Every structure is written in structure tokens, then in C-alpha cells.
Structure 1
Amino acid sequence: MKKQLHKIHGWTGIILMIPFLIVCLTGSIVVFKTELDAWLMPELATVDANGRERMPFDVLTDRINHQLPDYEIGSWEIFPAGYSEADRIFVIKEGTDEWHKAHLNPYTGELLSQPTESGHYLTDWLVELHYTLLLNDIDGLEEQLGVIISFVLSIFLVFMGISGLVIYRRFWARLFTLRWDQRLLVVFSDLHKMGGTLASPILLVIGITGGYYSGLIYYEEWKEHSAGEQHHIMQERLYADSVNIDALVENSRDYIDGFNPTYLLFPYEPEFPFTVFGRAPTANPLLSNYGSVVNFDAQTGEYLSTYNLNEQGVLAKTLDSTRRLHFGTFAGLTTKIIWCVVGLVPLLLAVTGGYLWWQRRSKRARKSRS
């Protein structure tokens, strides 16, 4: 059994090595997406927030609509007053179902960038490469092919982690053994065992959370369009101009004590509500900033419903924590650095594992010839 598992472990590693390494490398980079955006394009991603107050949402909405007359707002990532990050707005071009991204200075109402397609900026392109390998929406192929492959790679990562621990089930006995004075085969074997064992807990977390996200994205798309329905073509505004967005954001705090709004989802399909996402007060660092929701009627602004994550069970909170667990953003810079470094460990495992696999193949070939 162990011998067979060892063979499967080696062959799957060789077959899926290239796409897996792309996912791992891009994942390690986009852990620092916020910092990279601020460094690479400070004029777009950052704003001067010293001593300034955000403009009212209704005023900002009017200015966005004035500056982008051919687009409708789909969603809006917001930050509290004092933050130096620019708001990120996602708009839909009229006559299409295409989403675009722009940056907004919430202190002046100025658009810092014009709407751009998905993957226009380097870090956005890396995120898309990470999640889809750029294989989604290719004519003649399954629309969600990239997401499906990402799901398979997540299962692969979990399998490689578990099978590696099973193969070297007495790993603790010589965990930190590195026989540098031995031949290369022995050195690489020690590096492979040590690197894989030390990184396996975090890699398993990354694999499980990544698989959950890929599966969720595919499921949501399938649920909405399994019967052949097309995405809604944005022809006109789907919420009433009379709706007071500032009042909606402020009222959302009345339904969840201590609620901190972080994301506004405008109705982008008929009958959809106006939704305020945010974070309810909690001491749990793993819960995301988008776990709680308050819904309002898009035409009247009347309150519809609330989803308070603090009132949900363990399963709901566990699923919400996958966002921060996947990229290691739950404990500041420390965990981000750890996640980035561990994300690069598969590069070491690929080199050492590939060499060990080749040496075993060569040894068996020499025995067959003799």
C-alpha cells in the first residue's frame, strides 16, 4: 500500500507540477497585493487622508455617475475615514454584462482611474492567473474551465500533503536532519521531507480553503445559469435615484450593534436588493470584513433582512474564515510573510521531488537492462 501511494504521489506531482507551481508562485505574490498596489501605482491606489472626512455616499455616487455616464455602479469597496487606500468601485458598462474596475478618492470625489477590464493591472492579472490560470471565458471551452482546474489543483495539494505525511509517517524522528555531507540524492531527500513536513499544516489549510473558494465560485455560477440563462445585460439603473445611500449605510448599523460597513453591493440584476456588507464586532481574528449583511429594497430603501455572522453557528463562521486563512491576513504582516514563504516551498518540493523521481526511474531502468 505504501509503495503504491508513493508511486501515485510521485506521478501526480510530475503531471501537475507546472500549473501547480504557477498557482503557488502567484499566490505568494498576491498575499501582498495591497502593498504592491501602493508601491507600483501610488497615484491610483492611495490617497491623502490626513485630517480629512469622507464625502457623503450620495455625493460620491452622483460624481461617479457624472464622470461615468455610460456605466452603472455594481459594487463598491469602502474604507473608514483616515484610511489612505482609495475606494475601489466596480462598474458595469451599459449594454453589456461586463464589469470594470476604477479607483475613487473618497475625500474629493475624483476618479483616480478610468474603468479597466479584469486583469488590467499587474496584481489583478496575477490574482486572475492564480484563480483561473487565465482559462476562463475562452471561446470553445468550458466557461469556468480555469476555476475547475483550480479546484483540481486544490485537491491535489491536499492529497500531496496527506500522502506525504503517510509515506513518511515517522517524519518526527528525523525532522530536522540534513545530511549535507552525503551525495545529492540524500541531501534532496532530506530537504524534501523536512520542507514538506514543516510546510504541510499551512499548505493543507491553503489547499482546503482554495478548494472551497473554487467550488463556491463554480456552484454560484452553475446555480444562476444552469438552465441556460445569460447574464443580465445592464440597460438601465436598477435602483431608484431617490434611495438615500447614506441613510442605508447608517441604518445598517441599527440592525447589527457595532456594525462596520465595508462593501456596498448595488442591484446588478432585476429584483436584487441593495446590500451592505460589513464586519460585526468580534474577537475572532479569522472572521472576514464581509461576513455580516443588511439588505434594503432597491426602489424604496426599506429594510428587508439581516444576516449577523455572530448569531450563526460554527459552520458558518468556519466558512467565513476561509478568506483570511487562505492568504494569511488574520494576524497582520507576520502571518502574511509566513504564508508567502510557505507558498514558495512547493518550488523546493518540485525540484527535490522531481530529482528523486528521476533517480528512482533511472535506477529501475538500469536494473531492467541488466
Structure 2
Amino acid sequence: MSTPSSTATKKPTLPPEPAQAKGTRKKKRANWRKLLFRLHGWLGLNLGLLLFVICLSGSFATLSNEIDWLLNPDQHIERPAGAPAGVAGYDWTAMHDSLRKAFPDGRNLGIYAPEARGSAALSYVETPRGQRLKVYLNPYTGAVQGRTSFFNVQRFFRSFHRRFFDGDRGITLIAFMGFPMLLLALSGFIYYRGWLKQMVTLRRDKGARIFWSDLHKGAGIWGLLFTLLIALTGIFYFVELGYIAADNYEALQAEPLPQVETASLDDYGPQPPLLPENAYAETAREALPGLQVRSMRLPRRPGGAVYVDGQRGNPLTRDRANKVHVHPFTGEVLGVQKSSELSTVPLIGDLVDPLHFGYFGGLWTKILWCLLGLMLTFSILAGTYLWVVRLGDARRASKDAPRSLRPFSWLRGAVVSVAITLAYFVVVTSATVEGIKEYAPQRPAPQAVVEVQAGPYRAQIECATPCNPAEGAALTARFRGAGMPNYQAATFDAPDRERSPDTLQGPAGAPSATVVALPGDTLQMRIKERSGATHTATFRVPSGLQAATVAEASWPRTAPGVWWVVGAFAVFTAGCLVGWLAMIARAYRAAQRKNAQ
């Protein structure tokens, strides 16, 4: 029986791929890259000027606190001899005591530790005139070193960069720009080949167009990771706006920490005293070992907790990622939050701001972020210029080309989009002027009506200007004495009139209500304690109160030099835009001369 010879099985040889198929694939790849290139150009042409202004203001915003420190001597401090350096030597009790003495009728909105060595602590104080002040304190002695309005260089750049002073429309538009910025970064990087070579190529002897092209490509490659970071964090801000609009912002936040149990408040009396603020800081450090206390906020009402937050070994997160709630009357810990235990979404929310503005590493990362931001800013401007020039060349070259190979018809709307952008900047300029004025006092100080005593509570009744009770006036009960008023409810009532009492709303120490009453009418302030006991005080609406004219908004009081910085930014931005338009006009005239030859 013969056996077949064992021969190796040979793999069948496939016929060679037709040259036509290879050419088709190459053509598809070329068309895909051309599409990507045109998308990059369309976004730059139509949105470039808007992105330029956003990125320019954001670059300066990174160093805005440092600019304020240079301009305002009140922000410079000296550490007393023998006092421990840094957070260990901060006297939170002294700072709060100084604020109470300097602003007896003001409301302390929180105290924030210095950002750098040699800087003052910062407190926000709301005055009876409705104005918010920035108050600068020596963190070691508590001494008040100075005050300004809420407006300064930091507030200007932060508000301008965030919303163009244009309300919801501005903040939505700017946050949305994260999407086109992301597409610009990715489309440019994917399209251009040989990016390693482009990183070190800058030809100065090949004409302006080649120079700006090399600069645009090189800056885009060097700053690619930075651009992606800014775009992605901007997109997160846009997502936040969506949750806020849907009234579901809590979905992005960590589980809220406990407050004081309302049922226990009756145990502390009508006006329980707060503990020394240093005790709250020490309690927070014991609850979170290693915590460097960065800010403290006292509660507005008895049921609220003392809020303490700070850093604890992770500078990439906001201070609020590590926080402690402390009972204001007993000092016990109500709740603790650690950045290391946050779930993914809240952790991202606390990472976004430090990464977007670069303050996670102190001054050096701020400087780096500013330089990278400026590089991105002028890369955008250069790219927009190049595309306008390229568009003119492409149109001339494509007159006899097939329609499918001509530039996007959308590109022809670039002039319209630029005109719309420049027109919007006119609106932004007007909105910025009005927005800055809003930081000035918007109304005169309230008028004192009478001082009343209702049981253990003593309060001064004030009428907000313009005070015209017959048409409805805002009356405030400003409680006097140490401690926090601990009542269940407070109302204004007119016994001689058949209407429901007006419930006082707002901070426990200075709640207010809008009351309609005629001069000579009897009003009654009724305070209900948590035990159920009720105290009343009766007073008459004085006939001498007259409607007053509200003072027109003036410019806010701010540190010397702030206006120079704001003006310089406005001039510089306008100069860049005018210079860009001049370069476009010159390129257009050069093209016209070339066509005429």
C-alpha cells in the first residue's frame, strides 16, 4: 500500500492588489485629512477672535491676585517677632474680633487665609448699604489693614473671563467655547504630520506668512496638552451650567455635611454665644489631622454649622474638598469630608478650578499657566490671520477647479462672523462698564426708625432707603447684644389692619421684611421662641420718614492702579484686534496688486 508523499501545504498566493484600489484608499485618506483641515479652518475663522479675547483675559486672570498685591499696600503684612510662620500662627479669633469692631452692622461672609507669604488675609463683608467689601487683615494680629470695594484686578479678570459681564448669555457662550477649542486642538494635531520637526521650526527669512505659519504650528504643538486641559475644564463648566439650569446642581456635589439639629436649639437659650474662632480651627485640625485651615465661615442662623476648610496634602483640589462642620455653640464635630474619599464626579468638580487657572502649585504654576495661555492666545490670532489669507488664495486658485474641490462654501461667511463678533464686543464693552458700576454702593444707608425690646431680644428697626412705608418699605430688625439670636420666627404685624403678618427673612442677626404702613400706624414685632413663648414690641411708624432719592451708581472705590490695569487691558485687546484687521487689509491689498499684474 503506497503512502502519498508528504509535501508542505503552500498558502495560496493572492493576486496583487490593483493599483486602482490603492489609489482609491489614498484618495479617501487625503479627502478625510482635507475635511479635517477645513474644519480646523472654519472653526478658527468664525470663532478665532472670540477665543482670542477669552484666552487673553484668562491668561491675565491667572496672575490677577499677584497684580492686586503689587498695587495695594494694604495687602502687605509683617509677621510679628516670635509668631509661628504660616497657618500655625494665624489668629482666627483676633481676625473675627477686629471685623466685629470695624463693622458692627456689617455681615462677615467669611475669612480666607493668605494665598502667599507676605500677603494679608481676606474677608468679604456686606454692609447695610448692600455693598460687598474686601477687607484685608493681618492674619497674625487680626488688625484691619484696609478695605476696598469688591472690585479689583482679580474681580475684573475673573468676571470678564467667566461671563464678559454679560450675565447668563456671556457665561453660557464662554463655557460653550470649550467644545470648539477641543476640536481645534485635535483637528490641528491630527492633520499636521511631522510634529516633532514642527516643534523646533521657525523660519524668519521666508516671509511673514511662513513665519506666522511656523509660529502657529509650533505653539499649537508645544501647548497641545495645555489646550486640551483648558478645553476639557471649560466643557465641565458648561456641563455645570446645564445642571444649574435644571435645578440639579447637587448631583455634581458630594453628600452635604450635617447641620445643627433644629430640635436641640431650644437647649441653648435665646441668644447663645459663639465659641472663640480659634477653637473651631483647632477642632477642625483634630478631626482632619494635617489640615491647613484656609477659610472659615460662621453660620447665618442658629441651625447652621461653622464651616472650616483647607488643604491636606492634595493641592490639585480646591480647599473645599477637605472641610469640617463644627457646632457653633458646643464645638463638637458635626461632619467631615476628605478629598481622598470623594467619589469621581465631586472630585472632578474640585479639580477643575485649580487645573484651569493653574494655582495648584503656587506662583510658579501660575506664571507657567499665564505664559502657556498667552502662547495659545496669539497662536489663535495667527491661525485666524493665516486662514483668511489662505482663503483668498484658495478662491483664486479654485475658479476653474471642480466644485467638489473648492473651499467650503461656509468659509465665505467668515466676514459676517467676524463682523458679528466685533459687534458683540461693542455690547460687551457697554456691559462691562455697567457691570463694574454695580460694585459701587447702590443705595444710601438705611434710616434708623426706633429701638425696641421684645422680651430678651433688643433690636433696632431700620428702614431701607428710599423709605416710603405707604408704598412698601423694607424694614430690618438689627438685633443687638452678644451671641446669635435663637428664635423660631419673627414677624411684623399691623394690629389695626386686617392682613397677614410679614415674616422676617434673612440672617438671624438682621432679618428684614417688606411692610406697607402709613405714618402713625402701629406696628408690632412678634418673636416666637423655640420653646413656644412669644415676645412682642410695639412701635409707631414715624411721620418724619420721607421717600429719599437713591444715589446714582458711581464707580467703585478700589486700590490705586486698578483702573490703569483695566484700561491697559482694554487698550491692548483693542490694539490686537485693530492690528489683526490691519494685517488682513494689507494682505488683501497685496493680493489685489498681484491680481492686477
TM-score by length of 2: 0.52
**Equivalent pair of 1:309/1:316 in contact (CA under 8 Å):** no
Structure 1 residues 179-221: Cα deviation after superposition (integer angstroms, max 9, x where no partner): 3332433332222111111111112112222443464467458
The one-letter amino acid of 2:61's match is V
- Is 2:371 the partner of 1:338? no
How far apart in 1 are the matches of 2:118 and 2:274? Answer: 30
- Is 2:321 the partner of 1:291? yes
67-76 or 45-54: bigger deviation: 45-54
How far apart in 1 are the matches of 2:142 and 2:365? Answer: 34
246-255 or 210-219: bigger deviation: 210-219
Q: Secondary structure at the match of 1:91?
A: strand
- Percent identical: 25
Residue pairs, 1:166-245, within 5 angstroms: 166-213=190-237, 215-216=239-240, 219=243, 223=247, 241-245=273-277
Deviation for aligned residue 1:224: 7.8
* 1:278 alignment partner in structure 2: 310
* 2:108 alignment partner in structure 1: 73
Q: Residue 256 of structure 1: which of 280, 288, 291 is its match?
A: 288
Structure 1 residues 89-139: Cα deviation after superposition (integer angstroms, max 9, x where no partner): 01233485x64322122344332333513xx21232122212221112xxx
Q: Which of structures 1 and 2 has the larger relative contact order (alpha carbons within 8 angstroms, sep 6+)?
A: 1
- Is 2:174 the partner of 1:150? yes
The one-letter amino acid of 2:298's match is F
Residue pairs, 1:107-118, within 5 angstroms: 107-114=140-147, 116-117=149-150
334-343 or 166-175: bigger deviation: 166-175
Q: Residue 134 of structure 2: which of 84, 87, 101 is its match?
A: 101
- Is 2:122 the partner of 1:88? yes
The one-letter amino acid of 1:25's match is L
**Equivalent pair of 1:286/1:324 in contact (CA under 8 Å):** yes
- Is 2:36 the partner of 1:5? yes
Deviation for aligned residue 1:37: 2.1
- Is 2:52 the partner of 1:31? no
Deviation for aligned residue 1:79: 4.2
Aligned residues: 344
Deviation for aligned residue 1:223: 3.4
60-69 or 166-175: bigger deviation: 166-175
The one-letter amino acid of 2:171's match is V
Structure 1 residues 266-299: Cα deviation after superposition (integer angstroms, max 9, x where no partner): 335785432101112x3x5534444201012345
Q: Give the direction of change, closer, same or farther, for the CA distance of 1:99–1:56 in structure 2 (3 Å limit).
A: same
How far apart in 1 are the matches of 2:105 and 2:190? Answer: 58
How far apart in 1 are the matches of 2:215 and 2:309? Answer: 45
347-356 or 337-346: bigger deviation: 347-356
Q: Give the direction of change, closer, same or farther, for the CA distance of 1:289–1:242 in structure 2 (3 Å limit).
A: closer
Q: Give the direction of change, closer, same or farther, for the CA distance of 1:148–1:334 in structure 2 (3 Å limit).
A: same
* 1:141 alignment partner in structure 2: none
Q: Secondary structure at the match of 1:112?
A: strand
How far apart in 2 are the matches of 1:207 and 1:162? Answer: 11
How far apart in 1 are the matches of 2:239 and 2:329? Answer: 33
- Is 2:94 the partner of 1:63? no
- Is 2:196 the partner of 1:164? no
Unaligned runs of 5+ in 1: 137-143, 227-238
The one-letter amino acid of 1:8's match is L
Deviation for aligned residue 1:172: 3.0
**Equivalent pair of 1:74/1:267 in contact (CA under 8 Å):** no
How far apart in 2 are the matches of 1:269 and 1:194? Answer: 56
TM-score by length of 1: 0.80
- Is 2:345 the partner of 1:321? no
* 1:360 alignment partner in structure 2: 390
How far apart in 1 are the matches of 2:245 and 2:137? Answer: 29
Q: Secondary structure at the match of 2:146?
A: coil
- The CA RMSD measured in Å over matched residues stands at 3.2
**Equivalent pair of 2:182/2:227 in contact (CA under 8 Å):** yes
**Equivalent pair of 2:243/2:249 in contact (CA under 8 Å):** no
**Equivalent pair of 1:24/1:343 in contact (CA under 8 Å):** yes
How far apart in 1 are the matches of 2:245 and 2:141? Answer: 37
Q: Give the direction of change, closer, same or farther, for the CA distance of 1:293–1:225 in structure 2 (3 Å limit).
A: closer
Q: Give the direction of change, closer, same or farther, for the CA distance of 1:188–1:60 in structure 2 (3 Å limit).
A: closer
**Equivalent pair of 1:49/1:83 in contact (CA under 8 Å):** no
Deviation for aligned residue 1:173: 5.0
**Equivalent pair of 2:176/2:234 in contact (CA under 8 Å):** no
Q: Secondary structure at the match of 1:113?
A: strand
Q: Give the direction of change, closer, same or farther, for the CA distance of 1:203–1:51 in structure 2 (3 Å limit).
A: farther
Q: Give the direction of change, closer, same or farther, for the CA distance of 1:221–1:100 in structure 2 (3 Å limit).
A: farther
Deviation for aligned residue 1:62: 2.8
Q: Whose Rg is larger?
A: 2
Deviation for aligned residue 1:163: 1.7
**Equivalent pair of 2:240/2:249 in contact (CA under 8 Å):** no
* 2:299 alignment partner in structure 1: 267
196-205 or 21-30: bigger deviation: 21-30
**Equivalent pair of 1:52/1:107 in contact (CA under 8 Å):** no
How far apart in 2 are the matches of 1:261 and 1:217? Answer: 29
